[in-house]
Amino acid sequence: MSDEEEIDDDAVAAEWAAMAGGDGEDSDAADALFDESGDDDMAAAMAGTDRVLDQTEIDSLLGFDGDEDDEGTKSGIQALISSGLVAYERLPMLDIIFDRYVRMMSTSLRNFTSDNFEVSIDNMTSIRFGDYLNSIPLPAMLAVFYVEEWDNYGLITIDSNLIYSIVDALLGGRRGTAPMRIEGRPYTTIEHTLVEEMLAVMLEDLCHAFEPLSPVKFTLDRLETNPRFATIAQPTNAALLIKMRADMEDRGGRMELVLPYATIEPIRELLLQRFMGEKFGRDSIWETHLVKELFNTEVPLEVILDEQIMTLGEVLGLEVGQTLMLNTQSEAEVEMRCSGIPMMTGRVGKLGRHVAVKIDKKFDTKKGVL
């Protein structure tokens, strides 16, 4: 049994020696295979860096999807660029103001053109002023208006479709036919004059829309056809863009109102207010309720019989049982005060078991005299 075990041990030792002898060759082969595969992976990686991106991948990286009308969320570099813009949703009162504005302007332009004029807001958004100037479709008219109270400027853009529609409506064009557009020529003096008249109506309505919040005056400064001459802010400055649509049955167009945030900065605190309810401006129901509750408020009324000046030592020397003599007679005139404010004067008397005061004069708090 021991011999078999020894033979087996020798056989096992021989097998281990053979495996050890061939292990170097196998390891060298494995290393060569690893080196070959590693070179292939490295070559593939190097080849990947030279791959050219197509236009779709470039647009996705930059955040441009090619759809100019898409107002959704932005991504890529475009999101980083626009991250500094102040969202108009942080100014809740603007929605109330411009909703009031389009309703007033619809009525005013309906009377101005004697046509069924309807104005609606497409959207409100924030944009860089330079980006907006580069996106204006030409030909168009750009009206620069001045805000006296805020000491700054704003911009109204009217596209060619609306210009020709207004001119056609004011000069008696037939309904049901699209206005004729003549491209490649500048706007005439008549067209400039008619558009200025329409802008005067629009700016007056804009004054009335802001009036309940803050009285302001918008005046037309100039009318331009080249966006470079309508620069009212730095290209990188943020601005509020309100896109509106004007329809006159089968004709109409678009107009855009641009207000740089520097322009509305003086009333920013007022625009931050959150408006509750459906009325804008004064609420007569609330005022009536407030006045009613004020008249039911209880206030203390003091009758001053006499005033004496005493030293601190005399006041500290007062004891229980002492009598203070008042320099007031039974029919003397006394003063009545409310929270230290003189209200009226009267004479002290007696009514039944009660001490009473008969009011003689009322004190005028505005003038400070009786």
Q: Is the dihedral of CA 82, 84, 85, 88 positive or negative?
A: positive
Note whether 187 and 225 are within 8 A (CB): yes
| pLDDT recorded at residue 279 | 44
Note whether 157 and 224 are within 8 A (CB): no
Q: Which stretches does DSSP call E strand in the chain? A: 117-128, 140-147, 152-159, 218-224, 238-248, 251-260, 302-304, 333-338, 341-351, 354-362
Q: With a cut of 80, say whether residue 240 has pLDDT above it.
A: yes
Note whether 136 and 246 are within 8 A (CB): no
Determine how many CB atoms are found less than 10 A away from the CB of residue 56.
Answer: 10
| pLDDT recorded at residue 166 | 85
Location of structure tokens 């558009």: 195
Q: Of all helices (H) and strands (E), which one includes residue 198?
A: helix 189-210
The 10s digit of each residue's pLDDT in 15-69 is 666 665 555 555 454 454 445 555 555 555 455 455 677 777 777 666 555 554 4
Q: What is the rounded average pLDDT of the residues 68-75?
A: 50
Note whether 370 and 364 are within 8 A (CB): yes
Beta-strand relationship, 152-159 and 251-260: antiparallel
Which distant-in-sequence residues (6+ apart) come within 8 Å of 23 by Cβ?
Answer: none
Give the number of C-alpha atoms closer than 13 A to the C-alpha of residue 189, restricted to the C-beta side: 0
Q: Is the dihedral of CA 185, 189, 193, 199 positive or negative?
A: positive
| pLDDT recorded at residue 69 | 45
Which distant-in-sequence residues (6+ apart) come within 8 Å of 84 by Cβ?
Answer: 238
Query: Rounded to whole angstroms, how far apart are CA atoms 87 and 163?
Result: 31
Three-state DSSP state, 247: strand
25 residue type, one letter: E
Lowest mean pLDDT among 93-97, 161-165, 281-285, 338-342: 281-285
The 10s digit of each residue's pLDDT in 292-346 is 888 888 888 888 877 888 899 888 888 888 888 877 777 778 888 888 788 888 8
Q: Is the peptide bond before 137 cis (omega within 30 degrees of 0)?
A: no
Query: Rounded to whole angstroms, how far apart are CA atoms 342 and 337?
Result: 4
Q: Which long-range contacts (CB under 8 A, 24 or more apart) does 204-213 make?
A: 204/108, 205/101, 205/104, 205/105, 205/108, 206/101, 208/104, 209/97, 209/98, 209/100, 209/101, 209/104, 210/97, 212/280, 212/281, 212/282, 213/93, 213/97, 213/267, 213/270, 213/271
The 10s digit of each residue's pLDDT in 226-238 is 888 888 888 888 8
Query: Rounded to whole angstroms, how far apart are CA atoms 223 and 271?
Result: 29
Query: Rounded to whole angstroms, how far apart are CA atoms 370 and 367?
Result: 8
